Amino acid sequence: MHIHILGICGTFMGGVALLARALGHRVTGSDANVYPPMSTQLEAAGISLMEGYDPRHLRPAPDCVVIGNALSRGNPAVEEVLNRGLTYLSGPEWLARHLLPGRQVLAVAGTHGKTTTASMLAWILEHAGLSPGFLIGGVPLDFGVSARLGEGAPFVVEADEYDTAFFDKRSKFVHYLPRIAVLNNLEFDHADIFPDLAAIRRQFHHLVRTIPGEGRILVNGADAELERVLAMGCWTPVERFGLHGGGHGWEVEPLLADGSRFRLYRDGAPLGETEWALIGKHNLLNGVAAVSAATAAGVEGAVALQALSRFHPPRRRLELRGEENGIAVYDDFAHHPTAIAATLEAMRMRIGDAPLVAVLEPRSNTMRLGVHADRLASALAAADRVELYVPPSLDWDPSAALAPMGERARAADDIDLLVRTLAEELSPGSHVVVMSNGAFGGIHQRLLDALRERGMAHA
């Protein structure tokens, strides 16, 4: 079968392409921007890529066109599909029809932590010898790819609540029909498609409705919104996880302040303890969620803990990009106030009183609309200094939002100027955390290059 994918270079759609190719299909694809690393990964798998959305890419007609949710009516390729009556599906629906039947689907949902928790879960299952398949919205370092068919029954999927396609406004995750589901947390996000939190809560309940009575739901027991979701109706056994002392079935206790060593409990009894490469309370919760889900799939707790001791976080999760002249530069995907605060607090616990600099790009639709602008200053409070990049067409006043931070925070609309200023003013021993859900104009490497040049000039 010849499958053509529109929007193929996105992490999710690129993963769908890799899975379709692994199933033996001929796969081609189009995207507005064809660039590494996804383009390299796809071409290495024998997938032909085309720049732009020229209708001629669909001639001769493929057997099926898979359309990404970034494409809308008016797109030339979309109009070609509709005018010619070509067979088309969304990415989630293609998975549901052609890959997930017969698999033990484990879905990881939540506003925060999906990529990390899904990566942990896949790694635990791999360590246990179950050879899982997976589709994750990032690149797990332990696998090196965002998607894999796998040889075993389990299939781990990062279950996103964003809408499916221009023709299907349900959340992606309602298509996956998981047997085991993790519900990490629930907050308002995706303001471009959801009018309020109640609308997202309803989509989460649609997911709950699809999980069989013989399955399992693992829920953050401290999240009131998730409890509201379950109160709407639940027909599946539920196990709750949380921090030690909360009265949950699964609990995690940090043994070091930064969370790099911890102990797990099940029903009040110690299950074991371990050290790992991650830090922060949020990652402890991700870890206990992954262990509880893996146990539901038949993995022994001791095996799961051993796997976490060898786990490497996905790319862009407090990833150290480099160090120049004693100044460390990190890349993090945080783009919601809760995630921003969790990232900076974890780093503060790790570095103590060393200078902590936050560099933030408000790139997500929710952030650009200013939905969380009034929470921004408190989310950034752990940083000694904040540099906010102001992209074009921002719908709120960054100076007003950052005013509670006083002289600790500045805003700039020029990345080059931001890099030069940082390179001139940063002192050895500083830790710079760059936060964005996009490429941020390659600022990480540009800053490292500028710091290197400054060091050479002063040598």
- The answer to whether position 266 is within a domain reads yes
Neighbours of 77 (CB within 10 A): 22
Do both 226 and 280 map to the same domain?
yes
- The answer to whether position 63 is within a domain reads yes
Q: Could you tell me if 390 and 411 are in contact, meaning their C-beta atoms sit under 8 angstroms apart?
A: yes
Residue 325 CA, distance from chain mean position: 31
84/422: higher pLDDT: 84
Q: Tokens 């390179």, residue?
A: 423
For the chain, the domain total comes to 3
User: Above 60 in pLDDT, residue 219?
Assistant: yes
SS3 99: coil
- The answer to whether position 121 is within a domain reads yes
Do both 348 and 390 map to the same domain?
yes
**217-221, 237-241, 367-371: the lowest-pLDDT one:** 367-371
- The answer to whether position 342 is within a domain reads yes
Average pLDDT over residues 205-223: 96
**Peptide bond between residue 237 and the one before it cis (omega within 30 degrees of 0):** no
Any idea what the CATH number is for the domain that residue 234 is in?
3.40.1190.10
What residues have CB less than 8 Å from 446, skipping those under 6 apart? 415, 419
Do both 157 and 261 map to the same domain?
yes
pTM over 0.85: no
Show which of 309, 342, 361 is a domain's final residue.
309
Q: How sure is the predictor about 370, in pLDDT bands with cuts at 50, 70 and 90?
A: low
Query: DSSP letter at 253?
Result: E
Do both 305 and 331 map to the same domain?
no
Do both 85 and 121 map to the same domain?
no
Token pair of 308 as six digits: 């976490």
What residues have CB less than 8 Å from 53, skipping those under 6 apart? 6, 30, 32, 71, 75, 76, 77, 78
What is the C-alpha to C-alpha distance for residues 324 and 455, in angstroms, rounded to an integer?
A: 8
Do both 333 and 447 map to the same domain?
yes
Show which of 64, 92, 120 is a domain's final residue.
92
- The answer to whether position 45 is within a domain reads yes
The parent domain of residue 422 ranges over: 319-457
Do both 125 and 260 map to the same domain?
yes
Q: Which tens digits make up the pLDDT trace of 244-263?
A: 988 899 999 999 988 889 99
Do both 157 and 242 map to the same domain?
yes
> What element of type H or E holds 444?
helix 443-457
Do both 302 and 366 map to the same domain?
no
Q: Would you state the pLDDT for residue 68? A: 95
Any idea what the CATH number is for the domain that residue 39 is in?
3.40.50.720
Among candidates 69, 87, 80, which has minimal Cα distance to 7? 69
Q: Which tens digits make up the pLDDT trace of 272-286?
A: 999 998 888 888 999
Do both 439 and 338 map to the same domain?
yes
User: Above 90 in pLDDT, residue 378?
Assistant: no
> What element of type H or E holds 307?
helix 301-309
User: Above 90 in pLDDT, residue 372?
Assistant: no
Residue type, 43: E
SS3 317: coil
- The answer to whether position 343 is within a domain reads yes
Token pair of 113 as six digits: 């932590």
What is the C-alpha to C-alpha distance for residues 35 and 412, in angstroms, rounded to an integer?
A: 28
Any idea what the CATH number is for the domain that residue 386 is in?
3.90.190.20
- The answer to whether position 382 is within a domain reads yes
Do both 69 and 150 map to the same domain?
no
Do both 294 and 329 map to the same domain?
no
- The answer to whether position 314 is within a domain reads no
Show which of 280, 309, 338 is a domain's final residue.
309
